[in-house]
Structure 1
Amino acid sequence: MTALRFVYDCDPGADDALAMLFALGRRDALDMIGITCVAGNVGLEPVLNNARRILELASRQDIPVYAGAARPFMAPSGKVSIMHGSDGLAGSALPAPTMALSDGHAATELSRIARAEGQLHICATGPLTNIALALLLDPELPKFVSTITLMGGAAFCPGNTTPLAEFNFAVDPHAAAIVFDSGIPITMLGLDVTRQAVVTDEMIHEAQKIGTPVALEAAYLLINYGAKDPCLHDPSAIAWMLEPKIFTTVAGHVSICTDNGAAAGQVVAAVSERHLAGRAPNCTIVTGVDSTAFLELFLNALRDF
């Protein structure tokens, strides 16, 4: 089996860090060829530090890390999440990174890498500012991106930042709108499914039993982040890339509300023939997951280090 080559666009954040470890443990199936960072869960500087801290823990300093957007399109600064602690990794004892950032802005590097690859897969688990900026800078980029797998949105359930919007889309609704209007095939793992992928005591105990530095750090994050938000939001996107058969989905046309106020970032998902009104679906909306299979998939990745 040929490993899926992809760029990871993220805002680490504890659940992004767990997603990174999840993917890095499965080198047989996933080949992370670059990381593009965006401000989100915390500001850009700690996000960049955290991405490199996790790579160094996993002994993967070969993966380049690029700095991206420090703010959303239409606001001087973005929302941050209180769930991840002031450092973004729930007070982790991981040392400061020693590897250098790679040259180039995340948006231009996404374009460059996509053109070099010919058909690039992007996995995005933060605000979509970098990808939207890349699309604006390079209008032909959709020709070179095969698919985007993203964590974000709330299609058929309440939001977690406002009653209507999930965090990533609420941070930069205009970026999300640009991405969904791009014509690139998108798989969206929003709160509809990620609230079903929850941290369990069994998952924590098994990670502790594995006992490697990677597994123990994962256990730390599961305990300390999971106490505030027990949902494995970002690792769900990695699980989809590994085993889509453990999920249920529905095809739909997704648009994003960019109005000011509580609706900013709201997903409007049309799935019935009546609501589609002749529009073609632009998104695979993930709605369910086999949580037992998810747990085993995640733990097996930790065992593979």
Structure 2
Amino acid sequence: MTGQRKDVLIDCDPGIDDALAIALAHGSPALEIVGITTVGGNVALDLTTANALRLREYLGFPDVPVVPGSPGALLRPRLDAAAVHGDSGLGEVRLPPATLPPAPGHAVDFIIETLRARPGEITLTAIGPLTNVALAVRREPRLVEWARELVILGGSYTRGNITPATEFNMAADPEAAAIVFSAGWTVTMIGLDVSRSALATGAVLERMRALGTLGEDLLVPCAEFYGMVTATEGPAIHDACAVAYLIDPSLIEIEPAVVEVETLGRLTSGMTVVDFDLRGRTPNALVGTSIDVARFWDLAMSAYSRINPASRV
């Protein structure tokens, strides 16, 4: 780790809530981003990569590698969420175009080599479909030993948001998710049961606006694009919950569980089947059950306030 910071490699598919999560990670003094890998998910890989590159320069960490990875799922057509995130993936956000290219190579190789070089030191957090992580752990099974921890945003033990049973990141590549959960490490799963509570209400948007340029350029347009905001309701900022857990695990209640991913069900493909009772089995996951929403937003605003963004074009 760098000083007292936790070093993190973020695998993502920006994506509005990915953008807010990346900004949270960069702004937090508790985290150091050592790399960003991209995957096709919310929008196509060329767009998720372009968005990651723009965010890297706008937020101000141009030396961190951004490495593109898998364009789609292992065995299925790519599931698209442009209807939610906009054609570009970042809604109506207008950031300066990136001037620096992505790093050479493929995300899978970057994940393996980065963790191989520093075993036990780097947290891998995946906030998009799990295709890159699944390919990496299949290619190099020792990844489960090299990762300090694996924290994902995805799944649910109650209900889905793509189908009644399935959350988007799991539905996007159920086979990859099944590989990741069965690989032999403990997966910390921050799912819809937690992230549905982290709402960008009217009061939250006012706090974002008070941050000046970052709020005007990125935070507020992201939150407002998702949908109607009222005094008590607003869009859920899903991916940032996983990053918040990295910063302060006490924000989220977690319970050990056995998690298996359904890949064959006609109505349940991608469902995370969560058994908290264990039934004599060894847990393969720590599953988030609730979040302290007030403390989450305090933590997020504190981190965002530390960011000095680039000038708008």
Q: How does 1:171-210 map to 2 (within 5 A)?
A: 171-210=172-211
Instruction: For residue 22 of structure 2, give the secondary structure of its aligned residue in structure 1.
Output: helix
Distance, in Å, in 1 between the alignment partners of 2:143 and 2:290 is 31
Report what 2:61 is aligned to: 60
SS in 1 for 2:300: helix
Given the alignment, which residue of 237, 240, 245 partners 2:242? 237
TM-score by length of 2: 0.92
- 1:108 aligned onto 2:109: yes
> Which of 284, 287, 302 is the aligned partner of 1:282?
284
SS at match of 1:70: coil
* Counterpart Cα distance in 2 of 1:92 and 1:303: 19
SS state at 2:204 partner: helix
Aligned residue for 2:12? Answer: 10
User: Per-residue deviation at 1:97?
Assistant: 1.4
Q: Please give the alpha-carbon distance, in whole angstroms, between the structure 1 residues aligned to 2:265 and 2:285.
A: 24
Give the distance between the partners of 2:82 and 2:283, measured in 1 at CA: 31
1:132-147 equivalences in 2 (<5 Å): 132-147=134-149
TM-score (norm 1): 0.95
Give the Cα–Cα distance (whole angstroms) in 2 for the partners of residues 88 and 227 of structure 1. Answer: 18
Residue 269 (structure 1) shift: 0.5
Question: Match of 1:6, SS?
Answer: strand
Structure 1 distance, partners of 2:137, 2:215, is 35
Q: Which runs of 4+ in 1 moved over 4 A?
A: none
3-state SS of paired residue (2:246): helix
CA deviation map 1:145-191 (0-9, x unaligned): 12111100011x21000110000000000000000001122111100
> Over residues 229-256 of structure 1, what are the superposed CA-to-partner deviations in whole Å (9 max), with x where a residue is unaligned?
7001000001111111122121100000
**In 2: Cα distance, 1:287 partner to 1:215 partner:** 32
Among the aligned pairs, what percent are the same residue? 35
Letter in 2 for 1:190: G
Distance 1:215 1:292, change over 3 A: farther
- Report the alpha carbon displacement of residue 265 of structure 1 after superposing the two structures with TM: 0.5
| Alpha-carbon offset, residue 212 of structure 1 | 2.9
Unaligned runs of 5+ residues in structure 2 are 308-313
1:226, 1:238 → 2: CA distance?
23
Can you list the C-alpha shifts for 1:201-241, whole angstroms capped at 9, x where unaligned?
Answer: 11111111120336641122111125497001000001111
Distance of aligned partners of 1:230 and 1:214 in 2 relative to their CA distance in 1, 3 Å threshold: closer
Residue aligned with 1:198, SS: coil
1:212 aligned partner = 213
Give 1:261's aligned residue.
Answer: 266
User: Using the alignment, how far apart are the partners of 2:155 and 2:289 within structure 1?
Assistant: 12
Task: State how far apart, in whole Å, the 2-side matches of 1:194 and 1:213 are.
Answer: 23
**Which of 279, 282, 297 pairs up with 1:295?**
297
Distance 1:114 1:226, change over 3 A: farther
Unaligned runs of 5+ in 1: none
The separation in 2 between residues aligned to 1:8 and 1:78, in whole angstroms, is: 20
CA distance 1:130–1:265, change in 2 (3 Å): same
Cα 1:226–1:21 change in 2 (3 A) is farther
- Distance (whole Å) between structure 2 residues aligned to residue 235 and residue 253 of structure 1: 24
Secondary structure (helix, strand or coil) at the match of 1:210 reads coil
Measure how far apart 1:81 and its partner are.
Answer: 4.3
- What secondary structure does 2:163 align onto? coil
RMSD: 1.5
